[in-house]
Structure 1
C-alpha cells in the first residue's frame, strides 16, 4: 500500500508538470507519463482521489482529461446543494447563479455517471432540459423551486429513474409529471404545487410505485387518485395532505382508497373538507369507515390521521394491525379502557404515540409510559392532565428503565434504554426548568 501511494503521488506530480521531463515535448511527455501504467493500475491510483479532486486536474491536457473522465464515468456520482460532502463521490453545488455556467459544462462532460441529483433551482434556468441531455442514467432526482413548466412531450425521460421529488415547483403541470413516469419509478413526491390535478395518474403504468406523497397540491382532485387506485396496489406508503375547497367531500371516501391498497404499511393523511357542515354524526361515520378499512390492512405499521377516534377504534386497531408501531391520532376521545387495550396488544412495540385531546389523566399517561419500553415520542396535548404530569412521567420512565436493565430485554439492541422520551404537552404544565427530568425526557 505504501508503494502504491508513493507511485500515485509521483505520477500526479509528473502529470501536472509535463515540461519538466528533459528532452521531451509537453504533449509527448504526457503520453509517456500516462502510458507508464496500464488501465488497471491507473484505476487503483485514481481511486485514492475523490471526484472533486480529479475535476481540479482534468483540464491539464487532453490525454489526462480522457483518463480522468473515463475514471469518473465508472463512479456513481451524487450531486447535492448541501454544505458538506457525504462521501468522496458527492459533488456539492452552491446556491449561487454564478456557478451555473461552469456546472453546466461539467455536467455535459460527466453527466452519464450522475445517478443522484438534489438541487435547488431558484438561481438556475433550463435545469431539466440540461439533465435530459446530460444525465440519462439518473436514478434519484429531487428538484426544489423549479421556475417554469416544462414543454409538453410524450417522451419519457430518465429511463432508470426510481425516485422523483418536485417541491415548490409551482408551475409544474400533469403533463410535466407524466414525462417522469418510467416503469421503474418507486417513489413520487409532489409538494406545494398549484397546477397538478392528479390527471397524470391515469398514465401511470408502473407496478413498482411504493410511495406516493401529495402535499399542498391546491388543484389536486381526489377523484383522479381514487379512480387510479387499481394501478397503486403495490403502494406501501401514502401521504395525503389536502385542504379541500371543493363541495365534493374527500374524507368520507378515503376508506374506498384504503381498501384498494392491500400492501399499505404507512398512511399519513391530513384532509379537511372546508365546505362541509359541522356534523358530529357525519364525523363519527367517517371515522368508523376509515378505521374499519385500516383494520383490514394487516401490514399497517404507521398511522397518522386527523380523524376522530374512540375507544373501539383503538381496540380494533390494536388487535387487527399486528405490525402497528407508530400511532398518531390528533383528535381523539380515547379513555383508559381504549388505552389499556392498545397497551396490552402493542405496548411493547410502540415507538410513537399521539393521543392529543384524549380523556386521560396523569396516572393514565404514566401507565402508558411504563408499558412502552421503546417509546420515543408521546403527545398528550390537551389531555385532562395536571401540572404534575411531567414529573410523574419522568418517574415512570426511570422505573421502566430500571426494570429493563434487570431483564433480558436489556440485551435487545432495539430497546430504549439510552434514548430520552420526547414528551409533547401544553407549555403551561411545566416551568421549563428541566434539570429534574432531563435524563429521561425531552420536552417539546
Structure 2
C-alpha cells in the first residue's frame, strides 16, 4: 500500500478558500491580526486583504474610544511609528485616529479619505500654519477633538471652516499667553452639533477673566443671547472650568430641548437645577461635579 505524499510546505491558508478564512477572522480582534501580520508573506497578504473591509480606529491606549462599535487598533504613544506604517497600508479603512504633529496630519489627509473622527493631541498650531481645513479636506469628518494643543482661536476657525460638525471636544488647550478664549464659536457652523465638551484648568484665573466664556451677551435688542442658542440639536454637553457665568447657566441650558446628558462644574442653586430639568424633557443623565448647591 502506497503512503499518501505529504507536502510540508502547505499551510492552513492553502486549504481554506476566502469565504472560509473571512468567516474565521471576523472573530479575531483587529489588533491581534496586526500583531501577526509579519508572520509570512502569505499571511500578510491575507490580513491586509481582510482588513480592507474593516472599519478601523487607531487610538491611544490610555484614551476612551473615539468611535464606538468598530474593530479597534489601539497603539501606545511609544509605537506611533507603527501608526504611520498602518495608516499608509490601510488608510481607506481608518475611520478614526489621532495625530501628534502637522506632518502626520498631512499623511492622514492623504491616506484616510473615509475619516470620520480626528483627535489632535498636543500639537502647536498658529494662524496660517494649517494647510488643510474641513472644507477642502477630510470630506466625511464629523468629530474633532483638540487635546492639550497650543492653538489660537483663529486657527480653530481656519481648520473647522464652515463644516457643521456633530461633535466638538476641546480639553486644556492654550493660545500661548492664556487658555484658549473661545471667540471662534462666533464663526463656526454649530447647527448640526450634537456633542460639545469643553474642559480647562482655571485655578490660575481671576473670576472675571475665565477662558471659554460661552455666554456671550448682547443687549442691543434687550435679550440675552448665548452661543448655545446656535446649537438646536445639542444632546451631550460637558462644561468644566470657567465656560459660563454661574448666574446664566440655567437660563442658557433651558434652551436646549434635545439635551440628554449634562455634566457641569458649578455651584448651582436648587431652583436652577429645577429649571434645567423642567426645560429639558429629554435629559437622562445629570452630573453636578461641584454639588455644593446653595
Would you say same fold, with TM above 0.5? yes
Shift of 1:221: 4.3
Structure 1 distance, partners of 2:206, 2:42, is 58
Where 1:62 maps in the other structure, the secondary structure is: coil
Structure 2 distance, partners of 1:74, 1:342, is 50
* Residue of 353, 373, 378 corresponding to 2:286: 353
Query: Which 5+ residue runs of structure 1 have no aligned equivalent?
Result: 1-21, 31-59, 79-87, 123-137, 358-379, 385-444
* Residue of 27, 33, 48 corresponding to 1:111: 48
* Residue of 209, 216, 226 corresponding to 1:289: 216
Q: How does 1:91-106 map to 2 (within 5 A)?
A: 93=32, 102=39, 106=43
The answer to whether 1:26 aligns with 2:5 is: yes
Q: How does 1:326-365 map to 2 (within 5 A)?
A: 326-332=261-267, 334-346=268-280, 348-357=281-290
Q: How does 1:183-202 map to 2 (within 5 A)?
A: 183-191=113-121, 193=122, 199=130, 201-202=132-133
| Cross-structure match for 1:267 | 196
* Residue of 237, 251, 254 corresponding to 1:315: 251
| Residue-pair matches, total | 269
Shift of 1:109: 4.0
Deviations 1:93-118 (A, max 9, x none): 399x9x78538874344221022557
Name the structure where helix makes up a greater proportion of residues. 1
User: Is the contact made by 1:72 and 1:110 (CA closer than 8 Å) also made in structure 2?
Assistant: no
Shift of 1:216: 2.6
Where 1:303 maps in the other structure, the secondary structure is: strand
Shift of 1:323: 0.6
Shift of 1:277: 5.6
Structure 2 distance, partners of 1:322, 1:264, is 14
User: Is the contact made by 2:55 and 2:94 (CA closer than 8 Å) also made in structure 1?
Assistant: no
Where 1:268 maps in the other structure, the secondary structure is: strand
Deviations 1:295-349 (A, max 9, x none): 221100111012234344312322x2111011112134x3233222212222x53
| Cross-structure match for 2:155 | 224
Where 2:103 maps in the other structure, the secondary structure is: helix
The answer to whether 1:240 aligns with 2:170 is: yes
Higher alpha-carbon Rg = 1
Structure 1 distance, partners of 2:180, 2:213, is 10
**Higher relative contact order at CA 8 Å, sep ≥6: structure 1 or structure 2?**
2
Query: Which 5+ residue runs of structure 2 have no aligned equivalent?
Result: 62-69, 218-224
Structure 2 distance, partners of 1:342, 1:109, is 54
Q: TM-score, normalised by structure 2?
A: 0.70
* Residue of 209, 214, 229 corresponding to 2:141: 209
